Amino acid sequence: MFCIRGCGRRVAASLTKQHLASVRFGGDSAAPWTPHFDVVVIGGGHAGTEAAAAAARCGSRTLLLTHRVDTIGQMSCNPSFGGIGKGHLMREVDALDGLCSRICDQSGIHYKVLNRRKGPAVWGLRAQIDRKLYKQNMQKEILNTPRLTIQEGAVEDLILTEPEPEHTGKYRVSGVVLADGSTIYAESVVLTTGTFLRGMIVIGLEMHPAGRLGDQPSIGLAQTLEKLGFVVGRLKTGTPPRIAKESVNFSILNKQTPDNPSIPFSFINQTVWIKPEDQLPCYLTHTNPRVDEIVLENLHLNCHVKETTRGPRYCPSIESKVLRFPNRVHQVWLEPEGMDSDLIYPQGLSVTLPAELQEKMITCIRGLENAKMVQPGYGVQYDYMDPRQISPSLETHLVQRLFFAGQINGTTGYEEAAAQGVIAGINASLRVRHKPPFVISRTEGYIGVLIDDLTTLGTNEPYRMFTSRAEFRLSLRPDNADSRLTFRGYKEAGCVSQQRYERASWMKSSLEEGISMLKSIEFLSTKWKTLIPESSISSGKSLPLRALDVLKYEEVDMELLARAVPEPLKKYTQCRELAERLKIEATRNKGSSAR
């Protein structure tokens, strides 16, 4: 998955304007002539927005510095959020009152839970997202966040002072220098520069700096970090070409329809903004031997694939798929980019061949025979900081009060970035207030797994979340992220709103009450069988059975149970989430079992 912030044409466009006068938005507290903030966040991508919003929620006067306000919330790669493992991260970000899950509930155009048949611990909440809507909704949210100021500007350098003796670290950051020479003082600084540090775009044999005219600031920052002694590594990734929607022959392809009902990402939403019947479908097609031929015949025109920069072990590009798994057919998902977008995103077709060969390759795929390529796919190579140089709070060991989050730490994916952003924002704020850091352990959440893996093992490929990374997978479920994190976030970090806290408390007490209610209802199995004839309860032996044990049967849910025993169970079916969670908890409940 490719997730560079602002590359390709958009970068070129954005960076030519980077010297435009600083414009301030919002800003209810900081006057322009006294630029001193508690927390300054550099970068307006998925990590930066979450970090800035989290710091502001925690009560810090926060400044978000970005090249262009109108690229805040840009989804620069795939038009989707979530999936297996990634959906888990989103639920945890939401449990800490982060933004991306709520924005996705307002911007999705195809909601689908993956792995429905494999057990609730590995359900993967996922949605196709309308890029335009996401950006609009994210900007609306960010620009209306209290205590958060947004400013356009490119950071050139860090202001460093003597370290605090009671903490480790050689320096302490106390502000940033902008490209126009102005300075902004800060108690904490969060760096979320994405792939911007010495980013290079690669198409075929052409390579050029991602920021062309405007990359001065990022090179300056990269040099500063290197001079300070940070160990820097290099990674590569890529993105597929975009295809004109009207040129695709969907009628001969497999259609995938969204779930009905749609399951929202956020704990505070009962529904999503759009009805299932108004959502857009996805389509599935496959590569064929002709695609392999084109890739193999033209390897000499493909310096991204040949280069030694470490790519991931998994297969992000069609070239690596063909090279490592020859003579196979590979899936290509055709995904909509938005409600009124005329673009299709061919997931699985990330490629760095010269543009004309990309077009040739596309047209030999079924359903794409007449497809028009609107924008070629390309590769990106960029610097990242070895994440073993940061602590679990995401503060660097070397520079006190400097935090790294997102792709700068070697991760890939919107969700991985957002998860780090929330943690960095919270800790940047706690640090200013001399409070202990907010650290999530591997036993508490996927966020803990992510950060622990990064900070202890480092990474030499873009790090992506999988459920197989989590040792405690059975208890780190998407459905219970609120009970794992919301209370801690409320009490220890102060990043959780009262409304969310109350919702989580209500859910917790309802679950406890529901479980004890289910334990208290007991009939003979023969009676249960007559009450719920659909169930596979054996009526051979007449044994007393609790409602909780009946709920363990695969085919029994709260709806069926409440129809059999309306009083007092009916009230537990009024909230879909509560009913579903009771079912999951019952299955996980040890003790006298139904079998």
Partner 1 sequence: MWRGLWTLVSRAARGPHSPRPCTRQGSRYPGPGSGATIFALSSGQGRCGIAVIRTSGPASGHALRSLTAPRDLPPARKACLRLLSDPRSGEPLDRALVLWFPGPQSFTGEDCTEFHVHGGPAVVSGVLQALGSVPGLRPAEAGEFTRRAFAHGKLSLTEVEGLADLIHAETEAQRRQALRQLDGELGDLCRGWAETLTKALAHVEAYIDFSEDDNLEEGVLDQADSEVRKLEVALGVHLRDARRGQRLRSGAHVVVAGPPNAGKSSLVNLLSRKPVSIVSPEPGTTRDVLETPVDLAGFPALLSDTAGLREGVGPVEQEGVRRAQKRLEQADLILAVLDATDLASPASCNFLDTVVIPAGAGNPSGNSQRLLLVLNKSDLLPAGCSDPHPDLPSHLLLSCLTGEGLDGLLEALKKELAALCGDPSTGPLLTRSRHQHHLQGCLDALGQYKQARDLALAAEALRVARGHLSRLTGGGGTEEILDIIFRDFCVGK
Which range in 80-88, 198-206, 531-539, 573-581 contacts partner 1 by CB under 8 A?
A: 80-88
What's the min distance (Å) between Cβ of 398 and partner 1? 17
Q: Does the footprint of partner 1 cover residue 554 (CB under 8 A)? A: yes
Among 350, 480, 535, 573, binds partner 1 (CB under 8 A): 350
Q: Which is nearer to partner 1, 14 or 80 (CB)?
A: 80
Taking the complex as a whole, how short is the minimal distance between the CB of residue 126 and partner 1, in angstroms?
Answer: 8
Among 35, 44, 85, 214, binds partner 1 (CB under 8 A): 85
Structure tokens at 432: 């200013």
Residue 589 touches partner 1, criterion: CB under 8 A: no
Question: In 3-state terms, the chain is what percent helix, strand and coil (to 5)?
Answer: 40, 20, 40
For residue 401, give the DSSP letter: T
User: Long-range pairs for 452-456 at CB < 8 Å and ≥24 separation?
Assistant: 452/392, 454/387, 454/388, 454/390, 454/409, 454/410, 454/411, 455/387, 455/388, 455/390, 455/391, 455/392, 456/388
Nearer Cβ to partner 1, position 1 or 52?
A: 1
Can you point out the beta strands (E) in 274-390? Answer: 282-286, 331-336, 343-347, 373-375, 378-385
| Interface map 122-151 toward partner 1 (x if CB under 8 A) | x-x---------------------------
Return the number of the residue (300 or 313) whose C-beta is nearest partner 1.
313
Does residue 587 belong to the site contacting partner 1 (CB under 8 A)? yes
The secondary structure of 297-315, three-state, reads HCHHHCHHHHCCCECCCCC
Binding segment toward partner 1, per CB under 8 A, in 32-40, 217-225, 310-318, 371-379: 310-318
Q: Draw the binding track, 394-433, toward partner 1 (x: CB under 8 A; -: no contact).
A: ----------------------------------------
Residue 467 binds to partner 1 (criterion: CB under 8 A): yes
The alpha carbons of the chain give a radius of gyration, in whole angstroms, of 25
Burial degree of 340 (CB within 10 A; 0-12, 13-18, 19+): exposed
Using CB under 8 A as the binding rule, whether residue 119 contacts partner 1 is answered as yes
Q: Are strands 378-385 and 200-203 parallel, antiparallel or unpaired?
A: antiparallel
- From 13, 17, 20, 118, residue interacting with partner 1 (rule: CB under 8 A): 118
Positive or negative, the Cα torsion across 319, 320, 323, 327?
Answer: negative
**DSSP assignment letter at 201:** E
Q: Is 456 near partner 1 (CB under 8 A)?
A: yes
Q: Which of 324, 366, 433, 491 binds partner 1 (CB under 8 A)?
A: 324
Q: Which three-class secondary structure state does DSSP give residue 347?
A: strand
Crossing angle for the helix pair 498-520 and 481-488, to the nearest 10 degrees: 130
Span of 10-18, 170-178, 457-465, 489-497 interacting with partner 1 by CB under 8 A: 457-465
CB of 301 to partner 1, least distance (A): 23
SS3 530: helix
Task: Measure the CA–CA gap between 63 and 53, rounded to whole angstroms.
Answer: 10
Residues that bind partner 1 (CB under 8 A): 1, 78, 83-85, 114-115, 117-122, 124, 312-316, 321, 324-325, 328-331, 333, 347-348, 350, 453, 456-458, 460, 464, 466-469, 471, 473-474, 554, 587
